Amino acid sequence: MQHLYISYPPNEYEFAHRLVDNLQALGYPVFVDAVSETGTPPWAAETHRAIRTCGAVILILGLAERRPTGIRHEGVSANRQEKPVFVAIRSPGDLPRYLAHATSIDFSGDYDSAFQELVAHLPSAPALLTAPSLPWQRHPRRRAAPPRSPGHYRRIVWWLAVAAMIIACITIGIVVGAIPV
C-alpha cells in the first residue's frame, strides 16, 4: 500500500487538514505531520522514508511567502525519487526551480473546484491501496571486502618489526652520543 504525502507550512495547518479530511473521505491513505521536529536528523529520516514509500507528493505553498526549509527538502527529495509532485498554490508568485516539473493547482480561489482538479490528477485511491509497498533501505548495502590472506598480516608484522628496530637504533645512537641532539 502506498499513500499521499502532504507537506505544508505551519501557517497552513487548517487548510492542510481540511485537504487531508477530504482526501481521506474519498478513500485516500494520507501521510501528514511527521512526529519529529522539522529540520532535525530524525525528521529528515522520517520524511525521506515517507516520501520513498508514497505514491504522490502534495506540497501546499504560498508562493508570495518565504518557503520553509522543510518544504524545499521534501520537494527536492520527491524529485530525486521521481515521485509525482502536485503543488497546491495558496497565493500567487513564482514556482521554485525544484518544482518546475510539478503539477500546479490554484487553491487561492474556489476550494471545491480546485480540489476536484487535484483529485482528477492524482492516482486513484484504489491504485494506491493496491500498489505494492516499496522497500526502504537506509543506505545501499556495501559490498563486503574480500578476505585477506595470511601473508597480508605477516607483511604488517614485518614492517612493524623494521620500524621498531629503526627506532631502537636511533635511540641507542642518541644515548651513546653517536647522534648529536
Report the alpha-carbon distance of residue 84 to residue 78 in Å, rounded: 8
Q: Look at residue 11 in the predicted model and tell me its pLDDT.
A: 85
Residue 154, classed as helix, strand or coil, is helix
Q: Look at residue 179 in the predicted model and tell me its pLDDT.
A: 86
Model pLDDT for residues 140-149, shown as the tens digit of each residue: 555 666 777 7
Q: Look at residue 106 in the predicted model and tell me its pLDDT.
A: 93
Q: How confident is the model at residue 63 (pLDDT cuts 50, 70, 90)?
A: confident
Model pLDDT for residues 82-103, shown as the tens digit of each residue: 899 999 998 888 888 888 889 9
Q: Look at residue 99 in the predicted model and tell me its pLDDT.
A: 86
Q: Look at residue 34 in the predicted model and tell me its pLDDT.
A: 67
Q: Look at residue 144 in the predicted model and tell me its pLDDT.
A: 64
Q: How many CB atoms are located within 10 Å of the residue 125 CB?
A: 17
- What value does the mean pLDDT of the chain take? 84
Lowest mean pLDDT among 32-41, 89-98, 117-126: 32-41
Grid coordinates representing 18? 481540511
Q: What is the pTM of this model?
A: 0.70
Helical H segments across the chain, by residue range:
13-25, 41-52, 69-80, 111-121, 125-130, 150-176
pLDDT at residue 172 tops 70: yes
The residues, any chain, with a CB within 8 Å of residue 19's CB and separated by 6 or more, are 6, 58, 60, 88, 115
Q: How confident is the model at residue 134 (pLDDT cuts 50, 70, 90)?
A: low
pLDDT at residue 111 tops 90: yes
Q: Look at residue 68 in the predicted model and tell me its pLDDT.
A: 62
pLDDT mean over 135-143: 53
